[in-house]
Amino acid sequence: MTAFDHALLQGELNRLGLPALSEEKMAQLENYAEFLVSFNSHTNLTAITDPEGIALLHFADSLSLFLSGHPAGGEKICDVGSGAGFPMIPVLIARPDLSVTMMDSTEKKVRFLNEALSRVGLSEAGHAVSCRAEVAGKDPSFREQFDLVTARAVSRLNKLAELCLPLVQVGGYFVAMKGKDGEEEAKEAAKGISLLGGEICEIKSFSLANGEKRTLVIIKKHRPTPAKYPRAYKQIAATPLS
């Protein structure tokens, strides 16, 4: 028995208008899924470990990032709150020409991510670091260093924007992968996004095969983020920019 439903994933990619994956890439995803399920048996990473759930809610959902038009190829990317590796490990398997930094504050998750990258042969293209985004946003080695920043299922956009936009270089993009409330969150966060130097340029909504709603909020960075941002997380959480 395979760790995920290959036919379901290929069918969902076709339904979404995304390219099919080669046998080699499907084998890399299988390797990753097997390691995820094994690691999850002793360290909680995800509640979704069944073959159908991995195919649809992990892999297809991650690869739906490409519906945003980003990444287009060759970008330097930072994923904030990478957790079990979604969306970036499936994205990197699909597009190994990218340079990816996955950021998570939990050491066990960072160890998992780096081991997973090694197992699928992508250690040269991606790596994980243990760091909080609000700390990285003040660090010159991370601040405004990335062409693209992504985040999936981390927090509401009015908080998430302050964590992510300081990492985006001027002219780059932040793509927030949201659920059914994505458009509402975008309206709520629009003023704060502007204060941080960004602007919402597009919102794409779609549904997965099981009917779950998804929203991609695509934000372009037009100006440098003011030096006072990001604030400490307690301040971000207590008084989101509005």
CA 145 centroid distance within chain: 17
pTM of the model: 0.97
How far is residue 44's CA from residue 36's CA, in Å, rounded to a whole number? 10
Q: How many CB atoms lie within 10 A of CB 30?
A: 16
| Residuewise pLDDT in 10s, the chain (242 residues) | 899 999 999 999 999 999 999 999 999 999 999 999 999 999 999 999 999 999 999 999 999 999 999 999 899 999 999 999 999 999 999 999 999 999 999 999 999 999 999 999 999 999 999 999 999 999 999 999 999 999 997 899 999 999 999 999 999 999 999 999 999 999 999 999 999 999 999 999 999 999 999 999 999 999 999 999 999 999 999 999 98
> For 220-223, which contacts have Cβ atoms below 8 Å and span 24 or more sequence positions?
220/171, 220/172, 220/173, 221/165, 221/168, 221/169, 221/170, 221/171, 221/172, 221/173, 221/174, 221/197, 222/170, 222/171, 222/197, 222/198, 223/170, 223/197
Q: Of 134, 105, 131, 152, whose CA–CA distance to 236 is shortest?
A: 134
Name, in order, each residue with C-beta under 8 angstroms of 127's C-beta and a sequence gap of 6 or more.
100, 101, 102, 114, 117
How far is residue 43's CA from residue 66's CA, in Å, rounded to a whole number? 30
Name, in order, each residue with C-beta under 8 angstroms of 138's C-beta and a sequence gap of 6 or more.
166, 230
State whether residue 232 is helix, strand or coil.
Answer: coil
Gyration radius of the chain's alpha carbons = 17
Q: Of 131, 196, 102, whose CA–CA distance to 158 is shortest?
A: 196
φ/ψ of residue 102, rounded to 5: -100, 130
Contact 136, 111 (CB under 8 A): no
Query: Which domains, ranges and CATH numbers included, belong to the chain?
Result: 71-238 (3.40.50.150)
Contact 67, 204 (CB under 8 A): yes
